[in-house]
Amino acid sequence: MGCNRRAKHDDRIFWCSRRGAGCVSVLLYAPHWKIGWRLVSAEDVWDSHHLGGIPWQVLANPAHRFFADPFPISWQGPTWLFFEDFDHRRGKAVISAVAFGVEGPESDAIPVLEEPWHLSYPFVIEYGGELWMIPESTGNKTVSIYRADAFPYRWVKEADLIRDIVASDATIASYQGLLWMFTTVREGAVVRPSSRALYLFYAQRLLGPWRPHACNPVLIDPGSARPARNMVIRDGQLWRPVQDCREAYGKAIGLTEVTRLDENGYQQVVRTILRPGRDWSGSRLHTLNRAGNLECIDGSALMLRCLAR
């Protein structure tokens, strides 16, 4: 079927949607995600607890690829945005980057890290005067760390921080003298799927050794376990964005206050739930991140397979 008659495709998508997701998947790439960005000078989502204000713009991507998991960082000058760059034709993702200037993106997506396995969630952190990345590597069953060498174009694997683990979205924060790693772990039928069980690890330095928390998993809750990007400290209190996966993966974001974090216990309270709507279209929302004046989110998108050829 050709793609020069868009109205017929729209009609067919509606017709198929009443007969199950299998028919729709023939026409649409699924899942398909999009990155939203905006430049803010003062108040951001953490201040307002809503998505309104300056309109979100969508980072342009080729039709057969989607961009997700945005991690911006300002380093030695310009701000760079790192993200999952998934190619539907290959069925796997690499980590790519885009430079941002005072008006928005200043480059096309540049691949900066690829492995034989799927990569996503490129958590980036400055530590010891260098820049590091911990991409999600569940296909390799490790939490691995890479060091920037000729930033931002080359990354060298430095170590496996944790081995023999299927850990998603590892996110690190420095809090009260220790480094804390938050991640969800897939381990047996009791805690499946992987968005349910929050595990903590702690260390005195970035390269470890990383020790498991005595109470792991510290939380089993599909609504607030899985990290949704960088944590922030406001008025001395640690906050973390979390993925609300109760209805579906990455359905919404919770803004969560950490009320206890030490070697013997963990507690948190979800204060706000952010959902797609008037300010951000689509059916899902699963990222919140900021560096400098660049604020980013991501969520669902629709892409006809025939438009992506």
Other Cβ atoms less than 10 A from the Cβ of 77: the count is 7
- pLDDT, position 42: 84
* Domain count across the chain: 2
Whether residues 151 and 72 share a domain: the answer is yes
Whether residues 23 and 109 share a domain: the answer is no
- Is residue 253 in some structural domain? no
What is the model's pTM? 0.89
CA–CA dist 173, 126 (Å, integer): 11
Whether residues 91 and 72 share a domain: the answer is yes
- Is residue 204 in some structural domain? yes
CA–CA dist 108, 122 (Å, integer): 18
Rounded alpha-carbon distances, angstroms, from residue 10 to 1, 153, 282, 302: 13, 40, 16, 11
- pLDDT, position 76: 83
Residue with tokens 């300002």: 74
* 66 phi/psi in degrees, rounded to 5: -120, 155
Which tokens is 26 given? 């023939």
- Is residue 109 in some structural domain? yes
Do 116 and 49 meet the contact criterion of CB atoms below 8 Å apart? no
- pLDDT, position 31: 76
Whether residues 13 and 131 share a domain: the answer is no
pLDDT profile of the chain (309 residues), mean per 10: 30 34 56 94 94 96 93 92 95 96 94 97 97 96 96 96 96 97 80 77 98 97 96 96 94 98 97 96 94 96 61
Residues of the domain holding 23: 1-30
- pLDDT, position 204: 98
Whether residues 104 and 67 share a domain: the answer is yes
